[in-house]
Amino acid sequence: MLFKPAEYLDLTRTEHVTLFDAVENVWEVLPQIEVYLKFRLKPAILGQVIGKPFISDQVFLGEGSVVEPGACIIGPAWIGKNCKIRHGAYVRENVIVGDGCVLGNSCEFKNCILFDQVEVPHFSYVGDSVLGYKAHLAAGVILSNLRLDQRMVRVGRGESRVDTGLEKIWGGGGGRSADWM
């Protein structure tokens, strides 16, 4: 059973489509984010920084994007054009954010890919996740799927399940189908 990225995500809605070229299952992209950023990230601040948020030297901020005071971007992180990084947003390591996204107050992001126009406006955690085009998280959503029994996460359709080989994973939203999780 395969979970091909194109069956679940609109791959035309991310600048980072090459991440998905060599994967058979959509979740296989998550361990590749770190290496992708290591070799492709060219740090630059092309957007507007208001006040004194913390932004490390491992960050690309696209044109038209705004980072508000109190935000913290550790990186490595690639933030697209026309994004809003609101007060209190915490962007940790290995984060890719598409164009026109909102990373809201009291939200934390780690090892994730947000396609274009994703909105995570307030009080949420997005870790080890893939959020498709125009996904919108309501307040207080936690996308973390660490199993308490320490086993690998399994996904499937109906009664069929397949091991992902990952301890943590979340995916869905804004795509063609979200039934893989």
What pLDDT, in 10s, does the model give residues 75-133? Answer: 999 999 999 999 999 999 999 999 999 999 999 999 999 999 999 999 999 999 999 99
- Amino acid identity, position 84: K
Percent of the chain, pLDDT > 70? 90
Whether CATH 2.160.10.10 fits 5-170: yes
Percent of the chain, pLDDT > 90? 72
Q: pTM for the complete prediction?
A: 0.87
Q: How far apart are CA 41 and CA 150, in angstroms?
A: 33
pLDDT value for 176: 43
Q: Output helix, strand, coil percentages for the chain, rounded to the nearest 5.
A: 15, 35, 55
Q: What is the mean pLDDT of the chain?
A: 89
